[in-house]
Amino acid sequence: MTDRYDYIIVGSGIAGLYTALLAREQGSVLLVTKGSLDECNTKYAQGGIAAAIGRGDSADLHFKDTIVTGTGLSDPVVVRMLVDEAADRIADLVNLGVPFDTADGEIALTLEAAHSLPRILHAGGDTTGAHIEDTLGNWLHSAGVKLLENCLATEILVTNGTVCGLKALGCHSGRIKDYECRFLILATGGAGQLFKYTTNSSVSTGDGIALACSAGAAITDMEFFQFHPTALRLPGVTRFLISEAVRGEGGRLVTAGGSRFMDKYSPQGDLAPRDIVSRSILAEMVATGRDNVFLDITHMKASYITSRFPQIYRVCKEHGLDITRELIPVAPAAHYMIGGVRVNSWGETSIAGLFAAGETAGSGVHGANRLASNSLLEVIVFGKRIIERSASLEKPRAAEEGRPEDRISLSRRQPAAAGKPGLVALKRLLWHKAGIIRDGEGLTETADTLFAWQQKLPPATDRPSYELANLVLTGRLLVEAALYREESRGVHFRSDFPASRPYWQRHIVFT
């Protein structure tokens, strides 16, 4: 077997699997993933996937909701593609066998925050991501894609400004090997492991962003990290997402005393955008001196709860909580990396032959705030465009810049008296100083500490040490962008600059 492929794809979530299946129709494909095939964020997606396919809905309405939520930074050209191509891509998933839930013979649609209408398709109630991952994973086995599990991408190989391959570490053998390709697709997911509290799986360590940055690709919008307002908060229990669809179906946020509070903070109440709900919950937590608020769904029929939210019901029950009768303790947690490797509408990066798909990509769709359930949709719409583009190119091309932007670079910082770099310390630091509410002082201190840690890190040799180095670099990109953006917009909130400023209707790009 040759170690040269037309396509190498890194990652086996929806972005990796979907692009691999399409790429296989164009040439040879190697898919590498650092754990087992199904280790990814995708399989935890609960709420579903947005598409304007319901009666009374339209691509125009979906466009408007996405643009409004993106607070001035969503790129209207790519959002238009997202909403216009949604129905066809959903049809592709249906044809591949994703078993979307139905009601009265039609695809069932639910409502999530900041959508004007119910437009979220779901599968198996709240197990949408697991159904997508299983369906695509099953196809992969029969499609002739060469799969390497427990294989960690460690370096992007570039010659004369064009991608030529990948270095990867066999996690079991400990050996590094080079693989050659014409096109490299980064589908490595997000970076939730930057934060102490996160809904993300352990694989979300910002690898793709760090590798692309080290290879010289432009990285954008890193200050925008979405926090989900409602993750389960039980002592000693890993944060587990309580989907927004729970509020979409009538769940209410309440204090320990049972009083509703969201109407105080937003006219949209419990279904306000996620950044507003997250900050409102933090304010209630401070006001009540507790480390959580509650979600109340006890007014819903028990049989409805167990069939519509089987996974949430089961997980809570395993921890001794019966959500049909008891309030659910919740608090915000880091959820979705909006920024990433800057791509154009074809998924092309600033390095010829290098593409990025899914959460690793900074596509401009989400602007400064992601509309719920637009991320799975983004993957399939732009995943398809990546393969169309690469198949039509005689020679790989780098993307041209097209959005208003400030270009900056990581520079030397004040040496800080920082302790030993470690995952726990990093997650705590980022949560407290670069989380839901930020300020210049905390961000400066954090940037200096991360810089000092970068100097102290020994050369990486195994998966944990590569992941830590990737997190430190990704964290620096996030913190320095957050420091540079002296305003508040979408998910980026600075207590020292609480208002939005017209100048900042532009992107920050690391080059």
Ligand X SMILES: Cc1cc2nc3c(=O)[nH]c(=O)nc-3n(C[C@H](O)[C@H](O)[C@H](O)COP(=O)(O)OP(=O)(O)OC[C@H]3O[C@@H](n4cnc5c(N)ncnc54)[C@H](O)[C@@H]3O)c2cc1C
Residues in contact with ligand X by CB under 6 A are 10-16, 32-35, 39-42, 44-49, 128-129, 152-153, 187-189, 199-200, 203-204, 207, 241, 336, 358-360, 373, 375-376, 379
| Minimum gap (Å) between residue 368 Cβ and ligand X | 17
Q: Which two tokens stand for residue 219?
A: 């990285």
2: Cα separation from own chain's centroid: 34
Residue 180: exposed, middle, or buried by beta-carbon count in 10 A (0-12, 13-18, 19+)?
Answer: middle
Residue 432: exposed, middle, or buried by beta-carbon count in 10 A (0-12, 13-18, 19+)?
Answer: middle
Q: In 33-139, which ranges are E strands?
A: 49-50, 102-103, 106-107, 109-110, 120-121
| Minimum gap (Å) between residue 106 Cβ and ligand X | 20
Reduced to 3 states (helix: H, G, I; strand: E, B; else coil), residue 461 is coil
Buried b (16+ CB within 10 A) or exposed e, 29-41: bbbbbbbebbbbb
87: Cα separation from own chain's centroid: 22
- Please name the residues in contact with 227: beta carbons below 8 A apart, sequence gap of 6 or more: 274, 275, 278, 332, 333, 334, 335, 435, 436, 491
Kindly give the interhelix angle for 463-484 and 207-215, rounded to the nearest 10 degrees: 80
Task: Closer to ligand X by CB, 474 or 488: give it.
Answer: 474
45 touches 166 (CB < 8 A):
no
Secondary structure (DSSP) of 264-309: GT-TTGGGS-HHHHHHHHHHHHHHHT-S-EEEE-TTS-HHHHHHHS
| Type and span of the H or E element at 227 | strand 225-232
355 touches 185 (CB < 8 A):
yes
Task: Closer to ligand X by CB, 49 or 262: give it.
Answer: 49
HSE of 482, CA atoms in CB hemisphere, 13 A: 35
Task: Closer to ligand X by CB, 16 or 475: give it.
Answer: 16
Q: How far apart are the first and last CA of the chain?
A: 37
Q: Let me know if 403 is a catalytic residue.
A: no
HSE of 415, CA atoms in CB hemisphere, 13 A: 3
| Minimum gap (Å) between residue 407 Cβ and ligand X | 25
| Minimum gap (Å) between residue 503 Cβ and ligand X | 30
372 touches 115 (CB < 8 A):
yes
Q: How many CB atoms lie within 10 A of CB 455?
A: 10
| Minimum gap (Å) between residue 443 Cβ and ligand X | 25
Q: Which residue is nearest to ligand X (CB)?
A: 13
| Minimum gap (Å) between residue 404 Cβ and ligand X | 25
Strand partners, 146: 30
H helices then E strands: how many in the chain? 14, 21
146 touches 1 (CB < 8 A):
yes
Catalytic residue among 24, 89, 182, 274: 274
Strand partners, 294: 254, 329
Query: Annotated catalytic sites, by residue?
Result: 274
